[in-house]
């Protein structure tokens, strides 16, 4: 569900208390591990983490007016979604990146509830279901410079679609 909130505090204030607590916990881990080249702001109706135009002037190829999205956090109807585009940059329809394979294994090793993961989306309902340390590592493993480099390589190769494999 997209929010009409124009700021992160406004978005957080609009959430029911249980959802806000869940979003706050994940957001704290993201902010603690986020490279200085990314910025937090509302993007596409969610809390977004993106490479600002001051760092990457070209912006997002689908909408150059938007900064390059890296991650996002959203309260959906039945769950919370964490979008980790940094994991999926470079995936194809038949091959996942090393980052995705690492993430799946790290999540399994953490002993949490089975990973509910789509294209670049990790879904969860309770804080106990989340491997917060793995999320922190995933954010930390993709500094801005590496993300831009991978993003540009994917564009140069002509592959703009993320993997369909879940």
Q: Where are the domains of the chain?
A: 8-157
pLDDT value of residue 14: 92
Q: Does domain 8-157 have CATH number 3.30.300.90?
A: no
pLDDT tens by residue, 107-152: 999 988 789 988 779 999 999 989 999 999 999 999 999 999 999 9
pLDDT value of residue 118: 82
Sheet harboring 68-75: ordered strands across?
39-43, 46-51, 68-75, 80-84, 121-124
Is residue 4 over pLDDT 90?
no
Picking from 5-9, 43-47, 86-90, which range would have the lowest pLDDT averaged per residue?
86-90
Residues 6+ apart with CB under 8 A from 25: 127, 130, 132
**pTM for the predicted model, two decimal places:** 0.88
**SS3 state of residue 35:** coil
Q: If we measure between CA atoms, which residue out of 3, 24, 9 comes closest to residue 127?
A: 24
* 90 φ/ψ sector (left φ>0, alpha ψ -120 to 50, else beta): left
Average pLDDT, the chain: 88
| Tokens read off for 72 | 């996002």
Q: If we measure between CA atoms, which residue out of 3, 54, 13, 26 comes closest to residue 124?
A: 26
Q: State the average pLDDT over residues 59-86.
A: 93
Count of CB atoms within 10 A of residue 30's CB?
24
Q: Give the helix ranges, DSSP H, for the chain.
A: 8-13, 17-33, 85-88, 98-110, 132-140, 144-157
pLDDT value of residue 165: 42
| Pair 74, 80: CB distance under 8 Å | yes
pLDDT value of residue 132: 96
């Amino acid at each position: 569900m997209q929010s009409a909130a124009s700021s992160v505090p406004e978005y957080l204030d609009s959430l029911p208390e249980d959802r806000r607590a869940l979003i706050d916990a994940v957001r704290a881990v993201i902010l603690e591990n986020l490279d200085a080249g990314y910025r937090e702001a509302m993007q596409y109706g969610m809390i977004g983490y993106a490479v600002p135009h001051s760092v990457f002037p070209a912006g997002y190829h689908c909408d150059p007016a938007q900064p390059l999205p890296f991650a996002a956090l959203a309260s959906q109807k039945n769950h919370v979604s964490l979008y980790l585009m940094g994991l999926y940059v470079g995936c194809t329809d038949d091959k996942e990146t090393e980052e995705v394979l690492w993430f799946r294994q790290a999540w399994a090793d953490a002993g949490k509830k089975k990973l509910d993961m789509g294209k670049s989306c990790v879904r969860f309902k309770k804080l106990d279901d989340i491997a917060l340390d793995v999320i922190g590592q995933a954010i930390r493993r993709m500094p801005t410079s590496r993300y831009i480099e991978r993003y540009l390589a994917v564009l140069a190769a002509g592959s703009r679609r993320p993997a369909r494999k879940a």
